[in-house]
Structure 1
Amino acid sequence: MKSNHINYDYLKSFDRIDKIIDGSDNSFEEVDSIPLRDKLSYNNGFYVNCSAIFVDIRKSSQLTNVHLRPKLAKLYRVFISEVVATMNGNALCAEINIIGDCVSGIFNTPYRQNIDGVLSTAAQIASLIDVINCKFSKKGIEQIEVGIGISYGRALMIKAGYNGSGINDIVWVGDVVNESSKLCDASDDNQIVVSKTFYDNLNDENQELFKYDYFEKVYYNKIHDVDMNNWYKENCKQENSWF
């Protein structure tokens, strides 16, 4: 959000700090599903079980050595816009955040079958990257490799920002967010890496898609959307493709 200039008053700042610290601990509720944004204030919060997907470009710092800014801008715009579109296409998606070359999504998963729906979105993203690379190669743009991490667990949903300025955002705090970020870091070559808890809640058919890493204690594999993969096979004739 764009800055809204207000002269900084350190005495008012110190007063705000005290009010936040002295706020009631009983204003943070346990809920079954992610509530609407308008239920949040600067004084409350909600504990909720949810799923998180993190997607980022591997070795992105090296891209600046390959491309000048026009192509680099196109690369990032394509990646971010279409990963956001994919996550947003899942009705369970509650929040999407963009931080640099990372796109993350928080998904409302109160029921076990919802977990499989989140995996389907991740599979679409993996297939999307194949198609993006196909189109990049035809335009002389460097192909990208991404990491995809997914976790399920408990998070605290709060509204944070500068009260009265109009500058605020929803912040998700908890192991589910941290874990999915770490799983994303552990992923490469467009693989999907999921936590044990996320894996345990998948149906049997989807569990069979994964391999287990005994060292990292995570489940991983290349998993793709069937329809998108068929389009890729028909329209992208590339050597050394994964199929």
Structure 2
Amino acid sequence: MQTLQIILLAALLVGTAYCVRSLRALHQKTSSKFERISREITAATKDIKASVLQSYRQGEAFSQLVALLKFSAPIPPTRSWAASPDLLLTIADLVRIHKPRLVVELGSGVSTLIVAKSGAKKIISMDNSEEFADKTRELLKAHSVRGVEIRVAELAPHVSGVDWYDTSKFNDLKRIDLLIVDGPPGSKNPNARKPALSELIGRLSPRAVIVIDDVNRDGERELAEAFAEALPNHVLTIYPHEKGTAVISPR
């Protein structure tokens, strides 16, 4: 009888130990899962707050654009692959302050309209797509904007090793007062826009201003830094815009 009690007690102790270990393992697993879920919720909340703040800032910039430029017709959507309102507002401000006599833009679109409505005297916008060039022409016509030249410069192999605009389209350009670099498309090749430096640095006026979009990407940031290094009398300013904007302007 005593032996049976000892066996039962031992079995009870083993069972209790097993239950305790199982409960500990379950607790650790549950705690780990809870911590992971908590981290995911925290990260998602942070992303949502950043997105809401970004949307608010873009809305502010767009409202100011509408008030400043008084559009007479609808404008196409901004953001995503198109220029964001914060960049467009900066461009409008630079045109109004510096009053450029010649603006050269790499990549046409709603930014072309903004430059024209802000008072630039002469605008030449390069686009590698006939389709997008036509859309920009239609946009300008809808807003009764004249005197803007949209040039189609197809992409061709460049000595730098990337495809860039047909350089013959730039032969007649000199003394550029405002250069806007937002093309060619650079999302797949970080070096896609870098030929702008070697091809256009010698065509800038001494007091030229250079605007580069998408400097949140490494390729465009490096291009902005290279422009600033090549222009010792200029200063580089990086604006914390949605996609990052670099402005290289005279000191």
Q: TM-score range by the shorter chain?
A: under 0.3
For normalisation by structure 1, the TM-score amounts to 0.24
- Which is greater in Rg? 2
Higher relative contact order (CA 8 A, sep 6+): 1
